[in-house]
Amino acid sequence: KQEVTQIPAALSVPEGENLVLNCSFTDSAIYNLQWFRQDPGKGLTSLLLIQSSQREQTSGRLNASLDKSSGRSTLYIAASQPGDSATYLCAVSGTSGTYKYIFGTGTRLKVLA
Amino acid sequence: EAGVTQFPSHSVIEKGQTVTLRCDPISGHDNLYWYRRVMGKEIKFLLHFVKESKQDESGMPNNRFLAERTGGTYSTLKVQPAELEDSGVYFCASSWRPHSDYGYTFGSGTRLTVV
C-alpha cells in the first residue's frame, strides 16, 4: 500500500531564502508525481508534474526532482516571497487501475516579509 | 478553457440532513474523480468515473455516500444522512485520460460542515 510522507509539516522562513520541501513514498512503482499548492480556503493548484521517467521539472523559481528508486522527491523554491505562503502537497499516481493519486499531508509554508 | 467547477463552495448542514455536491469537469474530460480532506488528514481518493461509469469506488467511506454522473457530464455526490465526521473539503478533478501525462485539474472544492 502506497504511503506518502512530507517533511517538514510546517516551515517558517524569512523572505528571500531558498528552501527545500521533501516528499517520500513507499512504493517506487509510480506513474507520475505531482506537486500542488493550496491556499487557505482555495482549491489545489498544480505546480509541477514529473513523469516516472524524468528526473526533474522546472517552472520559474520552482524546481522539483524525483528519485524513484529511493522513493523521494524534493521541491526547491528559490528566493522565497511572502506570496509563496501556502500549503504544498505532494501526490503520487499508481501505474495501473485508476491511476489515482495518493497524497501526503502537506507542508505548511510561511514566508515572512 | 473553463476549469473544473464545484458548487456550492460552502455548505453548512445539520446532522441527519442530506447534501448534494456538484462538479462540472472540463469539457471533453471523460475521467472525473472525487477526493476529500477531513480535518488534519491527507486528501483521500473517493471514486473515479470514466464517462458515466464508476471505474473505482474503493474510497467511498460507506453507503451514505452516493455518486452519480449523468450522461458522462457533470457529477453529483450526495451524502444522506450526513454525520459529523463527514465534515471536510470535497474536491473534484478531471482529466482526459486516467493516466494523464498532464495530471489532473482540480476544482476549488466544497467545504462541508456538518453541525
Minimum-distance CB partner of A89 among B43, B98, B101: B43
- Interface with chain B: mutation pick from A6, A38, A45, A98, highest number of B CBs within 10 Å: A98
Q: Please, where are the H alpha helices in B36-94?
A: none
User: What are the pLDDT digits (tens) for B5-35?
Assistant: 999 999 999 999 999 999 999 999 999 999 9
DSSP notation for A43-81: -EEEEEEEETT-SEEEETTEEEEEETTTTEEEEEE-S--
Chain B positions touching chain A (beta carbons under 8 Å): 6, 33, 35, 41-45, 48, 55-56, 59, 91, 93, 98-109, 111
Cell of B20: 448534494
Do B44 and A46 count as a contact with CB atoms less than 8 A apart? no
Is residue B73 scored above 70 in pLDDT? yes
Q: Which three cell numbers stand for residue B77?
A: 455526490
Query: A106 to chain B: nearest residue by CA?
Result: B42
Q: Report the chain B residue with the minimal C-alpha distance to residue A9.
A: B40
Q: What is the pLDDT of residue A97?
A: 66
Per 3-state DSSP, what percentage of chain A is helix, strand, and coil (rounded to 5)? Answer: 5, 60, 40
- pLDDT band (50, 70, 90) for residue B92: very high
